[in-house]
Structure 1
Amino acid sequence: MANFVYIATSLDGYIAGPGGELDWLMNFPNPGKSDFGFGKFIKQINALVMGRKTFEKVLTFGTWPYPKPVFVLSSTLRQIPEHLEGKVELINGDLRAIVNDLNDRRFKNLYIDGGQTVQGFMREGLVDELIISVIPIVLGAGLPLFGKLDEAQRFELVKNEAFKNGIVKTHYRRSR
């Protein structure tokens, strides 16, 4: 059982622009059209947990990109779009209780996505592995990947990959 963060950041640690923009990421040159290991990663995941804002951003992509069940953390959403019934479930509450419930439901490996959601899981010490792809761009402002923690959390390097287009993907595992 593990909770994974698989995410891209700018060199200065932002996951989106000041208004949630992702154009810098979507328009980044990818000559080989690589998925940078995402396909392999998603195969080991049982479900995704994402925040409402991330869910709403993904809805703008047009095609639903996830082949696994998605759980959306929200205290304000009351329903999901009809075309996503059976693929998306709304959840709310204490993060530890949510993880325990999903694990009891046989969702053992969770992909945690979305700025506030990642920060919440980090604050609770619930992130086991970080896979961060750093895009060689400095945004100067935006939505940071990490937020305030009550205490430092240590991670050890699992793997580091550099791609020809300048992206560096680093995989860390939490030191216990």
Structure 2
Amino acid sequence: MTTYVYIATSIDGFIATEDGGIKWLYDIPNPDQSDYGYADFVSNIDCHVMGRKTFEKVLTFDSWGYEKPVFVLSNSLIQVPKKYNNKVKIMSGSPTTIIRKLAEQGYQNIYIDGGKVIQHFLRDDAVDEMIISKIPIVLGSGIRLFESTSQSLKFKHRATEVYNGEIVKSHYVRANQS
């Protein structure tokens, strides 16, 4: 089983504004209409795991952008909108419990998304690979990707790509991973 984080941050490490806004992600010119490697990445995962706030943000988008199953981690959400019943399941538990439950269902490559969920998985040492795209903006405040952990987590740099001369995407693998 491999858990992945694939996310964009501002130069100063924020994934969203204070109110959860991500409009700034779309302010970078994209003349080629590139997906910056997202389609290749997502073609290799089995499912998405996201937090409730991320799910609520996704529900505001014009279309549903997920072909693979989505698991929403929440202790307060009881049900999803009916039109997503066959696409989304609600789960709760520690990252270790979530990983075990998904492995029992046959999932091997899990995409972890959402600030708090990523932080919980990092805190429990349950992130194997991170692909982080730096967007050339300083937000100054907002929702951080990383918060304090009780231990250091070592990663190795695998690759870096630059898109449109502005976005820097770096891929990191846990130091104990091959």
Same fold per superposition (TM over 0.5)? yes
- Could you tell me the percent identity over the aligned residues? 48
Equivalent residue, structure 1, for 2:174? 174
Give CA-to-partner distance per residue, 1:1-21, whole Å, 9 cap, x none: 200000000000000011111
User: Structure 2: which 5+ runs fail to align?
Assistant: none
Equivalent residue, structure 2, for 1:124? 124
Three-state SS of the structure 1 residue aligned to 2:137 is coil
The reply on whether 1:108 has 2:108 as its aligned counterpart is yes
Three-state SS of the structure 2 residue aligned to 1:133 is strand
TM-score normalised by length of structure 1: 0.98
CA distance in 2, matches of 1:115, 1:13: 11
Q: Is the 8 A contact 2:58 2:64 kept in 1?
A: yes
CA distance in 2, matches of 1:67, 1:28: 26
Equivalent residue, structure 1, for 2:153? 153
Give CA-to-partner distance per residue, 1:98-140, whole Å, 9 cap, x none: 1011011011100000000000000000000000000000000
TM-score normalised by length of structure 2: 0.97
Equivalent residue, structure 1, for 2:83? 83
CA distance in 2, matches of 1:30, 1:42: 20
TM-align CA RMSD: 0.8
CA distance in 2, matches of 1:99, 1:137: 34
Three-state SS of the structure 1 residue aligned to 2:76 is coil
CA distance in 2, matches of 1:26, 1:105: 36
Three-state SS of the structure 2 residue aligned to 1:4 is strand
Three-state SS of the structure 2 residue aligned to 1:41 is helix
The reply on whether 1:10 has 2:10 as its aligned counterpart is yes
Equivalent residue, structure 2, for 1:32? 32
Q: State the 1:165 CA deviation.
A: 4.1
The reply on whether 1:60 has 2:60 as its aligned counterpart is yes
Q: State the 1:93 CA deviation.
A: 1.2
Aligned length: 176
Q: Is the 8 A contact 1:7 1:132 kept in 2?
A: yes
User: Structure 1: which 5+ runs fail to align?
Assistant: none
Q: Is the 8 A contact 1:30 1:165 kept in 2?
A: no
Q: Is the 8 A contact 2:30 2:164 kept in 1?
A: no
